Chain A
Amino acid sequence: MSLEAAGFWGLALVLLASSLAVVLSRNLFHSVLYLALALVATAGVFLLLQAEFLAAVQILLYAGGVITIVVFAIVVTERLVGERLTQTNRGMVTGGLVSVTVLIPIVIFVTRAKLPRTAPPLVGDLTQAIGRELLTRFVLPFELLAVLFLAALLGAIFFARKEE
């Protein structure tokens, strides 16, 4: 087994285990920490695909930014503070059934697809390529992203702001 394959399966194992731990953990705060692990493992997958910039973004934005938000959301929420942060998963069986019914067709179709055995080599600097595409072909989606974030920020502040 090549180093790349070993790295991939190792990361896949961590990713799968930590994602399961996010939904199965009884302690909300532990779930958040497992989520952080899952996001970091995703960054590892990006690294394996030679997308260093995306890996950095993943860690900066998700493991750094989003996890911070989630942690703050927990500690500022009145109902979650002061008691033990336990959660029960009543819908575990239903949830499992739904995931299996979604997973099976996806696995069947993806395995039937004719995929190349080896990844085509990347030419040039990926970060530069991202920058170029972002500012030429995808300049409208780039601006839309700012608009989307603005709407999300407005909404989040609207709900979180104290009543005057």
Chain B
Amino acid sequence: MDAALLPLAPLVVVAGTTVVLILLDLLPPRTSKVHLGVVALVGIVATLVSALFLWGRAGRAFSGVVVLDNFALFFDVVICYAVALVLLLSLDYLRRNGMERGEYYILVLFATLGMLLMAHAADLIVIFLALELMSLSLYVLAGFFQARLTAAESAMKYFLLGAFATGFFVYGIALIYGAAGTTALDRVGAALGSATRDPLLLIGLGLLLVGFGFKISSVPFHMWAPDVYEGAPTSVAALIATGSKAAGFAGLLRVLLSTFRGAQPDWTALLWVLAVLTMTVGNVVAIAQSNLKRMLAYSSIAHVGYMLVGVVAGGPLGAGGVLFYLLVYSFATAGAFGVILLLERGRQEAVNQDDYGGLAARHPVLALTLALFLLSLIGMPPTAGFAGKFYLFGAAVRSGYIWLAVIAVLNSAVAAYYYLRVIVYMYMRDQEGVPTEPAPSFAGRLALGIALWGVFQLGLMPAPVLDLAQAAVAPLLR
């Protein structure tokens, strides 16, 4: 490999795998595409390995438009884990839904490339292209099960609102470029330092925040999430809820903590309000949901609110806490979506609470697995969710945002209600739901196993990974 490309190994591996997939898809057989999924999975694992291998190295490439640092590598790891879980879950899921097509894996890898690029981007142009590459692929994936009525609605809504957000984002980039005369993040930061609070830069940042807000689905830019999650294939919903959110946070954190550090008082005040709104709206509306996918959508909105608490707190503790929480949240959310996906039978989705009545009797293992993921989302010790919330809210207290931490803890208590309700249905109700798939496939079980391992590994021994997360944000805070 070219020496100049070595720092970009994760990106190169994913891009290369995508090309291989496109070429493989052109070849026969046209009916079975499982081999494409396996190749994609191998590519993602190779990407993960290359990211771990590069840990600790720093550098820039392509005239500085992309950067390699621990921050980007940490996100590479989070995204690769999320995508790997999604791919494992998809292998059998696509066949069961009669939509085994090569495009699925190609688009998942395109989206992954966009996500990874977002983590590595050091130029607003690259951030924009990465965002678009990720979003465009996800719009198509959201409507992938064309036979379903909700698929078109899901893809359409996601596309229209996403395009709307893109408009804000580009406008923001244009204003920042107009004010700073450059799109390179470090030079924008320097321009911000010299000209004290240039109004053009501030409104540019505001518009960027709207764009990022849509991607991470923070209130008031969250309206699309429930409908999209409901209509999208469950595996894609998991990808949107984990990978694309991680990528959104990667871009957001780099722009806020590094480039716009000079304007910290301005955006902290704004994010304080957004964090409170996001977690409160997410949790309160989630209570009213009986559809599990919609409930998880609102729950994911609430978790974005918790992570924004960490962004407000700032510093290595707060920002590191956000990175750690993203990993924790991704394992638990991907796992929960995984169980829902495995319980689908044929093309019949089992997404209503009633479908989960008495699940513990029918599928003790699956029920227990789902219960553990939900407990992690609540933040019960010894699951990872507890460690994640502990560090996140602790960082807020240390930075003096006591009230924010109190609101976050109260919100977690409210959230426990709707997660526990599902567990109660599974263990204390009689069977009333539709019968479900007899036994999950090997790949599905492997995916749940990995997610469960993550939930306990990070819950019982959070310190090493937390140290890594804090080391990862160090280059931004320097």
Contact = CB atoms under 8 A, between A and B. Distances in A.
A18 to B, nearest CB: 17
A143 B373 CA distance: 40
A77 interface: no
A148 B136 contact: yes
Interface residues of B, number: 37
A144 interface: yes
B62 interface: yes
A105 B206 contact: yes
Interface string A129-151: 00000001111110011011011
Given A109-B203, A154-B107, A144 B63 contact: no
Interface stretch (B194-202, B291-299, B304-312): B194-202
Contacts of A106: 171, 203, 207
Nearest to B171: A106
B84 interface: no
A154 B62 contact: no
Interface in B358-415: none
A151 B105 CA distance: 12
A138 B139 CA distance: 27
Contacts of A140: 61-62, 65-66, 126
Nearest to B181: A120
B167 to A, nearest CB: 10
Contact of B137 (A110, A112, A155): A155
The secondary-structure label for the interface of chain B is helix
Q: Closest 4 interchain pairs by CB?
A: A155-B140, A109-B203, A140-B62, A113-B200
A159 B110 contact: no
Interface of A: 105-106, 109-110, 112-115, 136-141, 144-145, 147-148, 150-152, 154-155, 158-159, 163
B143 interface: yes
B65 A113 contact: no
B133 A148 contact: yes
Contact of B179 (A113, A145, A154, A163): A113
Nearest to A106: B203
Contacts of B143: 159
Contacts of A137: 63, 65
A149 to B, nearest CB: 10
A139 B62 CA distance: 7
Nearest to B25: A154
7 contacts: A105-B206, A139-B62, A144-B130, A145-B129, A148-B129, A151-B136, A158-B103
B140 A110 contact: no
B103 to A, nearest CB: 5
B200 A155 contact: no
A148 to B, nearest CB: 5
Contact of B65 (A105, A138, A154, A163): A138
Given A137-B65, A159-B143, A151 B133 contact: yes
B132 interface: yes
B125 interface: yes
B216 interface: no
Contacts of A109: 199-200, 202-203, 206
Interface in B86-124: 101, 103, 106-107, 110, 113, 117, 123
Nearest to A140: B62
Given A113-B179, A145-B129, A151 B203 contact: no
Contacts of A147: 15, 110, 113, 133
B125 A151 contact: no
A105 B107 CA distance: 37
A118 to B, nearest CB: 15
A106 B202 CA distance: 10
Nearest to B104: A158
Nearest to A107: B203
Given A106-B207, A151-B133, 4 more contacts: A109-B206, A151-B137, A158-B101, A158-B140
A141 B125 contact: yes
A137 B202 CA distance: 26
A144 B143 CA distance: 24
Contacts of A158: 101, 103, 140
B125 A138 contact: yes
B175 interface: yes
B67 to A, nearest CB: 12
Nearest to B175: A110
B260 to A, nearest CB: 15
B203 A141 contact: no
Interface in B61-95: 61-63, 65-66
Contacts of B129: 141, 144-145, 148
Contacts of B103: 154-155, 158
Nearest to B137: A151
B107 A113 contact: no
B210 to A, nearest CB: 9
Contacts of A145: 129
B196 to A, nearest CB: 12
A22 to B, nearest CB: 14
A61 to B, nearest CB: 16
A144 B199 contact: no
Nearest to B204: A109
A22 B360 CA distance: 56
Contact of B117 (A114, A136, A144, A155): A144
Nearest to B130: A144
Contacts of B139: 155
A154 B140 contact: yes
A45 B375 CA distance: 57
A155 B139 CA distance: 8
B126 A110 contact: no
A46 to B, nearest CB: 13
B203 A155 contact: no
A113 B62 CA distance: 33
Contacts of B146: 159, 163
